[in-house]
Structure 1
Amino acid sequence: MNIVIAGINSKYVHSLLSPWCLKAGVESFCELKHNITIIETTINSSITEFSDEISKLSPDILAIPCYIWNINFVIELSELIKKRIVTKIVLGGPEVAYRSESVLKDYSCIDFVLSGEGEWTFSSLIDVLSLSRSPSEAEGLTYRYNEIIIKTSVKIHKDTPPSPYCEKYFNSLNNRIAYIESSRGCPYKCSYCLSGRLEKMRCFDAESVCENIIKLSNSGAVTIKFIDRTFNANEDHCYSILDFILSEIGSRIPENICFHFEISADILTNKIIELFQKFPKGSCQLEIGIQSYNTDTLNAINRHCNFEKLESNIAQLTENGNIHIHTDLIAGLPYETLESFISSFNRAFRLKTHMLQIGFLKLLSGAAINENINEFTYTFNDTPPYEIVSNKFLSNDELKIIRHCEKSLDKLYNSGRFMLTIDFLLKNTAFSPFELFRFFSDNFETDMISLKELTQNLYICFSPFCNAERLREVILCDLASIDANITIPEILKTYDKEYKRINKFYTEKYQTNVKTVICRTINKVYVVNCDSQKDLRKRKQGKYFDL
């Protein structure tokens, strides 16, 4: 059979692994050999042009992995394909697996929906179709028979799936993010998540994982992201992989590769922390889900956390400054009021990780929290990504407050541009972290503005609440750390008695008409911007030094 698998990414830099997993499953498990083509695009590309590309391949089967961020593209594409060519369209993935019957009911263009692990379910379907067997023999399949929708059972697999990696995949990774899976499933059962819904966590052979790490590291990828839901859930497995990576960095693993892991911080052991502390700066990113500090909330979503251990471990991870760390909170969880969310935010912010990300609860098909919709009076958007509108604990207006705070948080803190300024304001004003970002969003627009305008607004917003001159100096320090040639807002410029003397010095030294010389004071350091980069000098204590 002629099979086309379409990978529809959110951005070009991402490279879905799932199409290659399906291909590996067919090649490993099917009784017959088949011609398999993988084509990729992004959700921002032309659906018409992508459908043209697919149509030219004349597939017998078109398979598309589905997620909340590409499902609209998938449905529109499927409808267009059905009008152009005769083919069977198969959908799978978390966005359709748990609502397979409604997908077939709502969209006549879809022929089959798969649930379960794709390597096995897709190959099972291909065997059924290529050998003219009954669809009832396929596993994890939802299909139509005489206008009746039928669903077969999903099997739980304990084996390691076949490797998705091949030469074509490696060749597609130049300057993109590569994905790798060292375990599947999750030991936890958080009610808003799908990862621990059915399957128990199982770890793949560490030696095989390490071999794939070497291949990915030399494929042209810039980041290798582990998609394990909790990478450190199995300590021995985690240790063996981290230890291997550390032993190979600078040897078989290029030094410019960055590894990304999602971990649970409160279960970290000292020996795992010590390994993370050994990573060269820039080679490791950690994503740590806190979600909430409200114990009632955590109990309601079947999640547990030792906060003291979490904070102690994060402090150890940040002390060396070698690891880039993101922490996450979720707004809209049960029993999380605006007041308790603000408390969680302030406590999480004071951990001083590189980024604090606010997510908004999404109603994922198949997630256990669906069972609590009526109990907690949840309303969600009907379209992807199905974000919360309100519940009995948070009104829509209160969620808007959190969203406004998030915008300022991203612009001022998560961007990394104003770290010194934010730290200064929290130490020298009465604002709590949440109040600080909320106050800025309440008074100034954060969307679609230049860095110059953002900087000016930051000074105008907070100068009445602290020593304005010190605030100016700190903002300028942040700006200088971004780009020495950045355009300074007029409100932050000062001209002092040193100006004329420095201007005269440069004019005489370089025998040029210096049109623009701006002297600004930053902690008794004079930074001079001249017409050319080579003329930039730093003056301190009466001496000039090349920067």
Structure 2
Amino acid sequence: MSPVILSTLNARYAHASLGLRYLRANLGDWRDASAIHEFVIGQKTEEIAEKLLAENPRVIGLGVYIWNVEESTRLVAQLKVLAPELIIVLGGPEVSHEVEDQHICALADYVITGWGDVSFAKLVGQLMAGERPPGKVIAGVQAPLPAIVSPYAEYTEEDVRQRHLYVEASRGCPFKCEFCLSALDKTAWPFPLDVFLADLEILYARGARQFKFVDRTFNLKVDTSLAILDFFLGKLSAAPDDPVFVHFELIPDHLPERLKEKIVHFPDGTLQFEIGIQSFDPVVQARVSRRQKNDIAAANIEWLKRETRAHLHVDLIAGLPGEDMAGFAAGFDRLVGLAPHEIQFGILKRLRGAPISRHTIEYGLRFNPDPPYNILATHAVDFPTMQRLVRFSRYWDIVANSGRYSRTLSLLLGDSPFARFLAFSDWLYAKTGQTHALAQERLVHLLHEHLCEAACAPETEISETLLADYRGTGGRSRLRFETGAVDRVPPKKRKSKATPARQARHLQA
């Protein structure tokens, strides 16, 4: 039995909530009387409520995010029906703004906005002493980072073995991109480096081999970046047959020579950079307060692809205020020409509290009123066209980003990547009416049909190319367009268990 329960609904089991672990680590005298119980979106609300109430808690702290707010609202409503005396405290980015407009906030007893590391602990102490603060909304106190107890000891052995471990060397962001909640930060604050490296050492000694840094600006302070890279290079040098996989978010136009000299030493499958381009249009960038030197950013992506073995995941956003299809297409084609391993084609969302909403009237931004608050239309892109872009995004993910069609992709895209893939996307949706549940064998046959209809290459070349991709990524069924003996390309084996399968396919292509 735990009087204090910390809970959330994660997008997937593999995602272990870093926020809950910060809260528990900082509970002070109440830490040992608390427990973390995580769930996954899609689980039955009644089953989640049953498991939480079985602990007979007095207080439940619930992390609320854009991906779980609807299910979390149902959960809070059920808990309040079943146990009206239970005190429910909400926290997280989804409930840190526009509190008065949210049904989930009305259902709960307290809402902590912003940072909750020390404010939740203070509230729990008051509640356990029988005190009930009069106000429902509590503004979280931003404690100095050295005063915050690190959360990494709260990762269990199961977490270390089976889940992504999230870590952060800093919080905040100095940039003001209006589509991001980090635009509200005044700057970035570093954790004490020696303490953080000691935490990494302990996690590594416990068997952790996948590390995802949630820092918004990993390469902002080069000396800190170098020290962290040196930590992982040291592990790789000492145990080359026991590699790690490390994910960082990278500022695209800030890659000094000292960082380049370090990055080139990382072997295959150990380093991933998530790089936010978002738009190549300088007018659109200025409109949303994004500072970016496009030519330098493009040159850095080219250099990373050419000179390193890092996996490159680059982000673009469709639906930014004032950007039309032609502008987005030009940026997309430019990015395809830089040849990153993945292009994350995102659709603009109106995060609660983000300054992007100031453009709503002038640029006709019409957002979905329900989570995830995706853009439905703008003055520059009408609703039917935006729907085409949404489908483009989904199909791009399962064809290009999956790494399963590295040979076929060049036939499909030709010298006009956006236009050619949009034509395929429109064709595929007209043909299937589906954006999900497309089995690999069916998708291979559909690609073959489209490529032949569009005369992207001679049919023999199309068939051979698709077969090479299909066999090379483990496909074993006999395909309808196979004729006679076929040179069956054996699937390449992953060299490292630390490297996720999707990234491994890109790096082996």
Query: Do these two structures clear the TM 0.5 threshold for a shared fold by scoring above it?
Result: yes
How far apart, in 2, do the equivalents of 1:421 and 1:184 lie? 41
1:223 to 210, 216, 237: 210
User: Does structure 1 residue 16 correspond to structure 2 residue 17?
Assistant: yes
- Higher mean Cα deviation, 106-115 or 62-71? 106-115
User: Does structure 1 residue 98 correspond to structure 2 residue 87?
Assistant: no
Give SS of 2:469's match. helix
User: Does structure 1 residue 74 correspond to structure 2 residue 52?
Assistant: no
User: Does structure 1 residue 87 correspond to structure 2 residue 86?
Assistant: yes
Aligned to 2:379: 392
Deviation of 1:528 (Å) = 9.4
Aligned to 2:477: 487
- Higher mean Cα deviation, 230-239 or 176-185? 230-239
Aligned to 1:407: 394
Q: Deviations over 1:498-536 (max 9, x none)?
A: xxxxxxxxxxxxxxxxxxxxx13xxxxx4599xxxxxxx
1:439 to 423, 442, 452: 423
Deviation of 1:415 (Å) = 1.0
Which residue identity is paired with 1:159? L
Give SS of 1:490's match. coil
Q: 1:528 to 1:14 in 2, by over 3 A?
A: closer
How far apart, in 2, do the equivalents of 1:459 and 1:109 lie? 53
Deviation of 1:438 (Å) = 1.3
Deviation of 1:362 (Å) = 0.9
Which residue identity is paired with 1:439? A
Match runs of 1:34-45 below 5 Å: 35-45=33-43
Deviation of 1:120 (Å) = 1.8
Which residue identity is paired with 1:123? A
User: Does structure 1 residue 183 correspond to structure 2 residue 181?
Assistant: no
How far apart, in 2, do the equivalents of 1:409 and 1:135 lie? 50
Deviation of 1:331 (Å) = 0.8
Which residue identity is paired with 2:374? E
Q: 1:46 to 1:152 in 2, by over 3 A?
A: closer
How far apart, in 2, do the equivalents of 1:436 and 1:221 lie? 42
* Contact kept? 2:113, 2:138, Cα under 8 Å: no
Give SS of 2:463's match. helix
Q: 1:22 to 1:253 in 2, by over 3 A?
A: farther
Unaligned stretches of 5+ residues in structure 2: 491-509
* Contact kept? 2:93, 2:114, Cα under 8 Å: no
How far apart, in 2, do the equivalents of 1:167 and 1:228 lie? 19
How far apart, in 2, do the equivalents of 1:216 and 1:7 lie? 23
1:366 to 337, 340, 353: 353
Q: 1:228 to 1:128 in 2, by over 3 A?
A: same
How far apart, in 1, do the equivalents of 2:265 and 2:250 lie? 17
TM-score (norm 2): 0.88
User: Does structure 1 residue 52 correspond to structure 2 residue 43?
Assistant: no
Deviation of 1:18 (Å) = 0.8
* Contact kept? 2:112, 2:120, Cα under 8 Å: yes
- Higher mean Cα deviation, 112-121 or 459-468? 459-468
Aligned to 1:421: 408
1:452 to 414, 427, 441: 441
Q: 1:401 to 1:124 in 2, by over 3 A?
A: same
* Contact kept? 1:418, 1:478, Cα under 8 Å: yes
Q: 1:121 to 1:224 in 2, by over 3 A?
A: same
* Contact kept? 1:178, 1:216, Cα under 8 Å: no
* Contact kept? 2:472, 2:489, Cα under 8 Å: no
* Contact kept? 1:217, 1:254, Cα under 8 Å: no
* Contact kept? 2:64, 2:95, Cα under 8 Å: yes
How far apart, in 1, do the equivalents of 2:376 and 2:412 lie? 32
Match runs of 1:150-189 below 5 Å: 151=137, 153-160=139-146, 161-166=148-153, 169-189=156-176
Deviation of 1:260 (Å) = 0.8
How far apart, in 2, do the equivalents of 1:397 and 1:82 lie? 41
Aligned to 1:147: none
How far apart, in 2, do the equivalents of 1:325 and 1:467 lie? 32
* Contact kept? 1:2, 1:34, Cα under 8 Å: no
Match runs of 1:263-282 below 5 Å: 263-282=250-269
Deviation of 1:486 (Å) = 2.2
Which residue identity is paired with 2:169? S
How far apart, in 1, do the equivalents of 2:240 and 2:178 lie? 38
Give SS of 1:224's match. strand
Which residue identity is paired with 1:20? R
Match runs of 1:132-143 below 5 Å: 135=133, 143=136
Q: 1:220 to 1:33 in 2, by over 3 A?
A: closer
How far apart, in 1, do the equivalents of 2:32 and 2:469 lie? 58
Which residue identity is paired with 1:479? Y
Aligned to 1:325: 312
How far apart, in 2, do the equivalents of 1:12 and 1:244 lie? 28
How far apart, in 2, do the equivalents of 1:420 and 1:252 lie? 34
Aligned residue pair count:
480
Deviation of 1:449 (Å) = 2.8
How far apart, in 2, do the equivalents of 1:321 and 1:449 lie? 34
Q: Deviations over 1:259-306 (max 9, x none)?
A: 111111211112212222211211111111110011111001100111
Aligned to 2:504: none
How far apart, in 2, do the equivalents of 1:422 and 1:168 lie? 40
Aligned to 1:239: 226
* Contact kept? 1:361, 1:387, Cα under 8 Å: yes
Q: 1:33 to 1:442 in 2, by over 3 A?
A: closer
How far apart, in 2, do the equivalents of 1:185 and 1:372 lie? 24
Give SS of 2:467's match. helix
Which of structures 1 and 2 has the bigger CA Rg? 1
Q: 1:152 to 1:442 in 2, by over 3 A?
A: closer
User: Does structure 1 residue 382 correspond to structure 2 residue 354?
Assistant: no
Q: 1:168 to 1:288 in 2, by over 3 A?
A: closer
Aligned to 2:61: 63
How far apart, in 2, do the equivalents of 1:135 and 1:6 lie? 22
CA RMSD in angstroms comes to 2.4
Deviation of 1:206 (Å) = 1.5
Deviation of 1:440 (Å) = 1.4
Aligned to 1:535: none
How far apart, in 2, do the equivalents of 1:352 and 1:53 lie? 47
How far apart, in 1, do the equivalents of 2:17 and 2:207 lie? 16
Aligned to 2:468: 477
Percent identity of paired positions between Structure 1 and Structure 2? 29
User: Does structure 1 residue 129 correspond to structure 2 residue 127?
Assistant: yes
How far apart, in 2, do the equivalents of 1:528 and 1:330 lie? 36
